[in-house]
Amino acid sequence: MSGSLNAAAAALNSSLAVDVNMAQQDVRGSQAWARALARSGLITKEDLYAILGGLETISKELASETFLFAESDEDIHTAVERRLTELIGAPAGKLHTGRSRNDQVVTDFRLWMLDAIQAADSGLAGVQSALLERAEADWGVILPGYTHFQQAQPLLLSHWWMAHFWALQRDRERLVDLKQETGVLPLGCGALAGSGFVIDRFALAADLGFAAPAPNSVDAVSDRDFALDFLHCASMIGLHLSRLAEALILYSTREFGFITFADEYSTGSSLMPQKKNPDPMELVRGKSGVLIGLQTGLMAVVKATPSAYDKDLQEDKAPVMEAASLLEMLLPVTAGALRTLQVNREKIAAALDPAMLATDLADYLVEKGVPFREAYQAVGAAVRWSVEQGVSVCDLPLETWRGLHPAFAADVKEVFQFPRAVARRASWGGTAPEAVRLQMERARKMLALGGGQP
């Protein structure tokens, strides 16, 4: 090709601003490639030592932020090779033997993402730890459980906290699978057809910490499933954080008053002095939408790439890196907000409506031999009657109960005890204290062992 690229086109073509984040990974990949070339006899030991030494110098310059980029640096690969040539001269020109930027860039990206997966997992473990701490600190608090935003049945607040723990556990397990998917080495596949030199790609994979080399060179340079799956994992993490944030925002309102956020996780109003806004949690909720958008955007890019490498794939890194950056912010903020919020036990207790024990009333009749559907109708009639009379269902006189169904007896009053209702749900996964203690103990062990940690 003759002639130079139009200035605007060159700016569009450049990816340095994004892939500079993979600079250290590019150095690592180049060091391993140099060793692979030496093992195959394609470069001498002297060349190898010169290349490794030069790359080590570049790594230190990058770490100390003394590496100087040039206007001609199109991407991180050309920048590193240019600087290597400045440092060691002719041997630098041998480094790209049998290698293409197509397999080089996706190798760098996978190496970078393996680090991002580990960081996301650590952040998730931090939120899980905060949830477990809350479950321990708030032990014994009985919370109105809601479905359809209507009071449903009483729960231990500890059980509610742990519900969010297990959602995040699924996220960690997805990261385990993602690490396995990402740990496949593209390097040595060349532009699309494989390297023209005999390279031991299994040794190369082991050198870089990959589980195995990619089995097909065309697929290896075009596969961005791992990037899309990272964005899916990030979207699911954001979704779970958003659900938690939404509930906490609702519970912090004056109408509920179940919790109060600490001042360091709240903001004031520029106009209304009385306001204490849960902005950090609102941003957690909002950023989850951004994460979903990043996933959708990259899917739209990848769907139009037929095979091997197309320049469209340059757009793969920015959304993944933005998603990783968002997780680095959202996870510690969520953990901090959880650890510092105040649970208002009196407010929660005052919100408990005896009508939530309607199912327990039906169960009471079932235990006396009444078919459930018949029991359900009798209790429904009791609730309707209490609403019409403007009294609490727990205050109905015994004669009213007996009029609704002959199986009701004086011991019906014992049903109206929230601790009793909670304690009855003692099966595995239930809200009874012994069941919740079992899941908390299991959670402690998982965190101690690394949980779903890759």
Tokens 């890759």 belong to 454
Q: 106, 314 in Cβ contact below 8 A?
A: no
Distance CA 103, CA 219 (A): 11
CA distance 124 to 155: 25
Alpha-carbon dihedral of residues 65, 67, 72, 77, nearest 10 degrees? -90
Catalytic residue among 4, 64, 148, 427: 148
Pick from 159, 173, 143, 213: nearest CA to 418: 143
Which residue out of 122, 269, 325, 392 is catalytically annotated? 269
240: annotated active-site residue: no
What is each CA distance from 114 to 184, 260, 291, in whole angstroms? 11, 38, 19
The tokens for 266 are 């709240």
Amino acid code (one letter) for 168: L
Three-state DSSP class for residue 372: helix
Determine whether 96 is an active site residue. no
How many C-beta atoms surround the C-beta of residue 99 within 10 A? Answer: 24
Note whether 292 and 235 are within 8 A (CB).
Answer: yes
**189, 195, 201, 207: CA torsion to nearest 10:** -90
Contacts of 143 (CB under 8 A, 6+ apart): 154, 155, 156, 157, 160, 258, 348
Strands (E), 80-211: 142-147, 150-156, 184-185
CA distance 59 to 51: 12
Q: Is 327 left (phi over 0), alpha (psi -120 to 50) or beta?
A: alpha
CA distance readout (Å), 72 to 7, 12, 23, 154, 339? 11, 14, 16, 66, 49
Active site residues: 148, 269
